[in-house]
Structure 1
Amino acid sequence: MNTVVSHEADGDGRVRVSLAELIALRSRVARLRLPPQDSRAMRVGNQSSRLYGRGMDYAESRAYQPGDDVRRLDWRLTARSGRLHTKLFQEEREGQLLILLDQHASMRFGTRVRFKSVQAAGAAALAAWYAVRAGERVGLMQFGGCTQLQRPRAGVHGALDVCGAIAKGDRTASVHRQPLSEALHHVIKLRHGANRVLLISDGQCSDELARNRLLEMMRHTAVRLLVVADALELISMPAGHYPIEHDGQRRTLVLQSIRQRESFQQSLGAGQARLAAMAQSLGIPFRVIDTAADPLESVSALLCDRGGRR
């Protein structure tokens, strides 16, 4: 896919995704100090494997065995030990990250700085740039509207493809509600080749069956979760009158008593609380960020396997 930045189609970065901003996030990731990569292991879930063969990277040497390729003799160790030794090389496997991005209508909401959908889009773009900088392929599946898989692709073009698809998905209005379990089942059935999955959602679409789907996915894939929430979903607001706009119509929300405010917050934040609790019970590393936060630290922490639970 050739990504072209169109000024007319580009968003404002607050209520609509700005493709230019998604692409510009590459420079922020470029300044990060990435952790050293373990080239001898490919992590799948909680398992790692060492693969030896005619690969690119030297792994170790062992005593010569009949049938070994004489071109791979370790002459230095042979000279020191007086016995023939053969160099073993590991097969290099490229990591692949698949980003699952929630595009439900509930994501198009925000009371601080930007909509949840815009915050999630920025986090997804950061993840894409992080992955390709770390030498991984990156792909994308958006759900909640048009469910379409973009298979992992290597290099800058892979990240650009993801950014372009995110911007296009943001312009597609949808009222279709897709349970998270259904989206996860769709991913499991597809042969996408990814060994890591980053799910970005506000949790409003999470359902009871999603827990089983996540368990199934975790058998073969390392799963990480970024929960995007609005400030109103995380804390009880002070008493007052709050103007709300929806579909071009303005309303005033009146919150006075403590019970009224707490009930409103718990109702509004039920989705993100449910999804975070599910991740915690399954041992999935996750982070919760609001719409005013900088997502870079959370994304990099999750993708370098330092993802703690908050």
Structure 2
Amino acid sequence: MTSPLRPSHAEPRAEGVLPTLAELIALRAAVGPRQAAPRGRHGPAGPSLSPLRGRGMEYAESREYVPGDDARHVDWRVTARSGRLHTKLFQAERERLTLLVADTSPALYFGTRVRFKSVQAARAGAVAAWRAVRDGDRIGALRASRREPPVPPASGGRGALRVLDALVRWYRAPQDDDAGLDVALEHAVRLIRPGARVVVLADPHAAAAVGDARWTALAQHHEAIALLLADPLEAAPPKAVLSFADGEGHRLALDLAGAAMRQRWQAAFATPANECLQRLPRLGVRARLLSTDAPSESWLGMLGTGVRR
């Protein structure tokens, strides 16, 4: 069943069921202003030149072009000599990439408290995008699709709005070309360069199905964070018969009073979440459950200090 589920007695409402661009834009206020830089003996201690290669004024080297690179910096001489598109890099303060990896599996389009898990995913992604703007990062996004290209990284409000627009599209309804979180993470590992911040928005079941090697590759050279979207009903179902309806009016009744059904429920929801919370930190990935009734910015304390690696 790929349609969103809701308790059958509840009437569908747009609020909490479908993300809107207006609410994602409004979440910029939840991030807050950037803190002032500490002052040194000779005034504010600002960023210094990095030994790493970034964008700036002084040419450093050329490398093969990757999606998101500025076309104005194409090195046509090296491109002609090698037969492969290359771009110029410059010595400068390093500009980090914040990349959102969006799981769009059908299990996310469900909710019983405040909002659907899909809406909470969109909101948490918006918080990450606005934090990237505050930190001076470029922001990009991709989902588990073999057809849709990533949202190319860009700085400032323009970059954030591109990502927010994608989140609204991705989380309004299940995506018919969803290829699984493992595919999305494979794309991410292949595209990003060391030092990026990667925020994964995922259903616990999808995250649990991804192998250790994929998570380790993601965390090896990046700041990796997994936000596992959860609904209170999944963790603590009542001992009763629950009736659900999908978006097409089909009904499903589950008797959760019996021990056998509760064990199956536990295996489907609580077990994958607990497994991820224990396994991912051992692989270098910070993981946290984000409930549908929690503030969408409540996970921000997981982020590092902003020091570029």
Q: Same fold (TM over 0.5)?
A: yes
CA distance in 2, matches of 1:305, 1:210: 28
Which range moves more in the overlay, 16-25 or 169-178?
169-178
What pairs with 1:72-91 in structure 2 (closer than 5 Å)? 91=92
**Mean alpha-carbon deviation: is it higher for 281-290 or for 263-272?**
263-272
* Cα distance between partner residues in 2 of 1:155 and 1:115: 28
The verdict on how the C-alpha distance between 1:209 and 1:168 changes in structure 2, with shifts beyond 3 A counting, is closer
CA drift of 1:137 comes to 1.2
Q: Which residue of 1 aligns with 2:200?
A: 199
**2:139 matches 1:138:** yes
Structure 2 SS opposite 1:165: helix
CA distance in 2, matches of 1:176, 1:192: 27
Rounded to whole Å, the distance in 1 between the matches of 2:304 and 2:124 is: 15
Equivalent residue in structure 2 for 1:18, among 17, 20, 33:
20
Q: Which position in structure 1 is the counterpart of 2:108?
A: 107
Encode CA deviations 1:229-274: one digit per residue, 9 max, x unaligned: 1113323x23112221123223332211345324313323343333
- The answer on whether the counterparts of 2:230 and 2:292 sit within 8 Å (CA) in structure 1 is yes
Kindly state the Cα deviation for residue 123 of structure 1 after the two structures are TM-superposed.
Answer: 0.3
Q: Matches of 2:189 and 2:242 in 1, distance apart?
A: 42
Structure 1 residue 100, shift from structure 2 partner: 0.6
Report the alpha carbon displacement of residue 207 of structure 1 after superposing the two structures with TM: 5.6
Aligned position for 2:302: 302
Deviation at 1:144, TM superposition (A): 5.7
Q: CA separation of 1:245/1:120 partners in 2, compared to 1, >3 Å: closer, same or farther?
A: same
168-177 or 108-117, which moves further after superposition?
168-177
Change (3 A) 1:150 1:175: closer
Is it true that 1:218 corresponds to 2:205 in the alignment? no
Q: Which residue of 2 aligns with 1:68?
A: none
Name the counterpart of 1:179: 180
TM-score by length of 1: 0.71
Higher relative contact order (CA closer than 8 Å, sequence separation 6+): 2
Computing the radius of gyration from Cα coordinates, the structure with the larger value is 1
1:288 and 2:289 aligned:
yes
| Aligned counterpart, 1:227 | 228
2: CA distance, partners of 1:239 / 1:135:
49
Query: Structure 1 stretch 136-145 or stretch 110-119: which is displaced more?
Result: 136-145
**Amino-acid identity (%):** 32
Give the distance between the partners of 1:148 and 1:170, measured in 2 at CA.
Answer: 16
Structure 2: distance between partners of 1:183 and 1:216: 13
Residues 238 and 258 from structure 1, CA distance in 2 versus in 1: closer, same or farther, beyond 3 angstroms? farther
Q: Cα distance, 1:93 vs. partner?
A: 1.0
1:191-237 CA distances to partner (integer Å, 9 max, x unpaired)? 578711111101322365532012122232221111111113323x2
What SS does the corresponding residue of 1:269 show, helix, strand or coil? Answer: helix
Say which SS state the counterpart of residue 206 (structure 1) adopts.
helix
Query: For residues 19 and 194 of structure 1, what CA distance do their matches in structure 2 show?
Result: 29
Taking structure 2 as the reference length, what is the TM-score of the superposition?
0.71
- 1:150, 1:189 → 2: CA distance? 15
Cα RMSD for the two superposed structures = 3.3
Taking a change above 3 Å as real, the CA distance of residues 41 and 118 of structure 1, as seen in their structure-2 partners, is: farther
Deviates more, 1:197-206 or 1:250-259: 250-259
| Secondary structure at 1:204 match in 2 | helix
Q: Deviations over 1:124-150 (max 9, x none)?
A: 001101110121111111226854311
Deviation of 1:101 after TM superposition, in Å, equals 1.2
- Report the Cα offset of residue 91 of structure 1: 3.7
The answer on 1:241 being equivalent to 2:241 is yes
Is this contact kept in 1: 2:111–2:292, CA < 8 A?
yes
In 2, Cα distance between the equivalents of 1:36 and 1:211?
A: 38
One-letter amino acid of the counterpart of residue 301, structure 1:
G
Q: CA deviation at 1:14?
A: 1.3
1:150 matched residue in structure 2: 151
> CA, structure 1 residues 96+35, in 2 after alignment: closer, same or farther (shift >3 Å)?
farther
Paired letter, 2:24: L
> Which stretches in structure 1 are left out of the alignment for 5+ residues?
1-10, 43-48, 57-89
SS in 2 for 1:93: coil
Distance 1:173 1:227, change over 3 A: closer
For 1:41 and 1:186, locate their aligned partners in 2 and report how far apart those are by CA, in whole Å.
Answer: 32
**Which amino acid letter does the alignment assign opposite residue 213 of structure 1?**
R
Change over 3 Å in CA distance of 1:159–1:101 after alignment to 2: same
Letter of the 1:244 counterpart: F
Deviation at 1:168, TM superposition (A): 1.7
Contact 1:100 1:197 in 2 (8 A): yes
Q: 1:113/1:188 Cα in 2 relative to 1: closer, same or farther (>3 Å)?
A: same
Structure 2 vs 1, CA of residues 169 and 177 (structure 1 numbering), >3 Å: closer, same or farther?
closer
